[in-house]
Amino acid sequence: MGKKVSYYRKLKGLSIKALADNLCDESTIYRLEQGKQLPRLEILNDICLKLEVSFNALFPLNEEVVELKKLCREFTYTADYPSLELSIVECSKALEGLTSIYLKEEFRKFIQWHKGILLHKKENKIEEALCILNKLVSIKTCGSELDISILNSVGLIYLSINNAEEAIKIYRVINERVQNQKIIEDRTLIPRVGYNYAVSLYKLNRFEEALIVMHEILLYMETNQLMYSLGKVYHMIGLLSKKCGLSTEAEEAFNNAILVFKLTKDQQNLTRAIIDLESLFHK
């Protein structure tokens, strides 16, 4: 790992002093590169951010862990919580086989994150879920994609109990943080965080601000050729445009949402979009 840090530092043209600036002592970087010291996970994350490389770039690929993470995310997106529960059990078994203290700590945090999601979504234990998730990350020091994803889940819990005031405190910070990330492994993270930020603004009747955020998300998705939740993005733009008195823009957005929902066979959201489109003409 130390050799990789040294390689990426030199590739970026940074001295040890420049890399250490505002992160840690120069001696920490020197000893890390020499293989004589292992810094805290938070410092290593900050080093990766400054070098503009992903955290995983410093470690050998563990295919089992990668696959288990994919399964956990997939089951979370599809709300298949029994399967998510089984995957977490397998994750815990795989955790014991990891030798890198960094990968082990990061994977343990990933597992706890999904345990928190289960408590919220499957068991509706709001306080217990918040307790687990808030122990994993601080909004003051969050920087990694994992930290931002965990805080995104915290914000979703607050939105689920109609506490948009608490949710927006989180989304305001993590939306800015994720926008400033130079390297993004999960390209759905920016639209996920931005969408939830816009929902928080919507619930607080700050429609113009929310509409700006949604247009930024749409531009990002078009630039990066992302289809992730595109229908929901268009639908939200339609709702916000309607609130802002922009009937033509609302009609166009609703029609785009309907098209995407038809293509993805999302009947539930398709029905909602059709109803919202019809409401433009039947006030």
pTM of the entire structure?
0.80
Q: Residue 274 is encoded by which pair of tokens? A: 């059709």
Closest-CA residue to 175 (of 217, 218, 223): 217
CA distance 147 to 133: 10
Say if CB 269 and CB 234 are below 8 A apart.
no
Q: Where are the domains of the chain?
A: 2-55
Q: Which of 38-52, 192-206, 214-228 has the lowest mean pLDDT?
A: 38-52
Cβ atoms within 10 Å, residue 72: 21
| Per-residue pLDDT tens over the stretch 39-71 | 777 788 788 878 877 777 776 668 888 899 999
| Per-residue pLDDT tens over the stretch 148-170 | 999 999 999 999 999 999 999 99
Say if CB 45 and CB 15 are below 8 A apart.
no
Q: Which CATH architecture has domain 2-55?
A: Orthogonal Bundle (1.10)
